[in-house]
Amino acid sequence: MSIVAKHVSFSYGKKEILHDLSFEIPDATLVNVLGPNGVGKSTLFRCILGLNFRYQGEIFVNGKSLKSLSVKERAREISYIPQSHAPVYDYEVLDIVLMSTGSDLKMLNTPGKAEAKRAYEALERIGIAEFAHRNYTQLSGGEQQLVLIARAIAQNAQTIIMDEPTSALDYGNTVRVLSCVRQLAQEGLSIIQSTHNPDQAFLYADKTLVIEKGCLKAYGDPYDIITSDLISDLYNIDVKVNSLYGDKVRVCVPTHEIENHRN
């Protein structure tokens, strides 16, 4: 099992953000986390990443209890892909990817040729080796996101967490990034990503995890979970899930908008 959460709760002071979450994520699985803004998706991710430690319950990553792992050990099990953001200082792409190779280094060492090779191979695996010596800030948002994915790959962890990887990207880059992520899951990595677009779950998820008000609302195959009722209820709008291409894909459509628009 990639991630096992047992009765995980988390509170900021008296405000409870997560309430008694339990779920299991198998290896080599692409999981989509759905839920409106502020339901605790990011908090859950921070708990799994070991950035929030004051949660109740237990989290196991690849069979190891999260709280028993050091910063370095944690980094070998699980990596994080943040939203692409402009760093204050500019670095070469290869140097950005190189940053994740430190968990195997001793305190006094800096990365050498072996780490550079690892970083370069990660770029090759994502198919962006030609960016290696370009400046990170001169890349587009989608390209930057791919570099951050390569950085997570170079970290050699089996589980990857992505917080809304496509929210700042245009349509083309969104599709490119998501298909790259799906490919990695097929190659054996477990990837947990949050999204605001329920449609993405049908094409880019093996499982969907729905969180509402800090509680686990549903977890399972997206074709079973994502129904008209659930999405309408979750986001408090009228939505109908439609089937396309002989049910190979489905899309959500806000139905009352159609009527308003056509009348």
At closest approach, how far in Å is the CB of 262 from another protein? 47
Q: If binding is defined by CB under 8 A, does position 67 make contact with another protein?
A: no
b/e 121-149 (16+ beta carbons within 10 angstroms → b): ebbebbebbebbeeebeebebbbbbbbbb
CA distance linking residue 147 with residue 153, whole number of Å: 10
At closest approach, how far in Å is the CB of 64 from another protein? 15
Tokens representing 34 are: 């759905």
User: What is Dmax (Cα atoms) for the chain?
Assistant: 70
Q: Rounded to an integer, what is the distance from CA 195 to the centroid of its chain?
A: 8
Please count the residues of this chain forming the interface with another protein, following the rule CB under 8 A: 38
Q: If binding is defined by CB under 8 A, does position 192 make contact with another protein?
A: no
At closest approach, how far in Å is the CB of 20 from another protein? 25
The two beta strands, 56-61 and 240-244, are: unpaired
Q: Which of residues 127-166 bind another protein (CB under 8 A)?
A: 132-133, 137, 151, 155
CA distance linking residue 89 with residue 13, whole number of Å: 36
State the CB neighbour count (10 A cutoff) for residue 192.
Answer: 24
For the chain, state the CA radius of gyration: 19
State the CB neighbour count (10 A cutoff) for residue 204.
Answer: 23
SS3 244: strand
Q: If binding is defined by CB under 8 A, does position 119 make contact with another protein?
A: yes
Q: Give the nearer residue to another protein in terms of CB position, either 70 or 179.
A: 70
Q: Rounded to an integer, what is the distance from CA 213 to the centroid of its chain?
A: 20
Q: Output the CA angle 112-118-119, nearest 5 degrees.
A: 90
Q: If binding is defined by CB under 8 A, does position 41 make contact with another protein?
A: no
Q: Give the nearer residue to another protein in terms of CB position, either 10 or 202.
A: 10
Q: Give the nearer residue to another protein in terms of CB position, either 110 or 263.
A: 110
Q: Which of residues 77-116 bind another protein (CB under 8 A)?
A: 78-80, 82, 87-92, 94-95, 99-100, 102-103, 108, 110-111, 113, 116
Q: Give the nearer residue to another protein in terms of CB position, either 111 or 254.
A: 111
> Of residues 17, 34, 47, 49, which one binds another protein by CB under 8 A?
49
Q: Which of residues 197-256 bind another protein (CB under 8 A)?
A: none
Number of H helices, E strands in the chain: 10, 12
At closest approach, how far in Å is the CB of 71 from another protein? 5
Binding site for another protein (CB under 8 A): 46, 49-51, 71-72, 74-76, 78-80, 82, 87-92, 94-95, 99-100, 102-103, 108, 110-111, 113, 116-117, 119-120, 132-133, 137, 151, 155
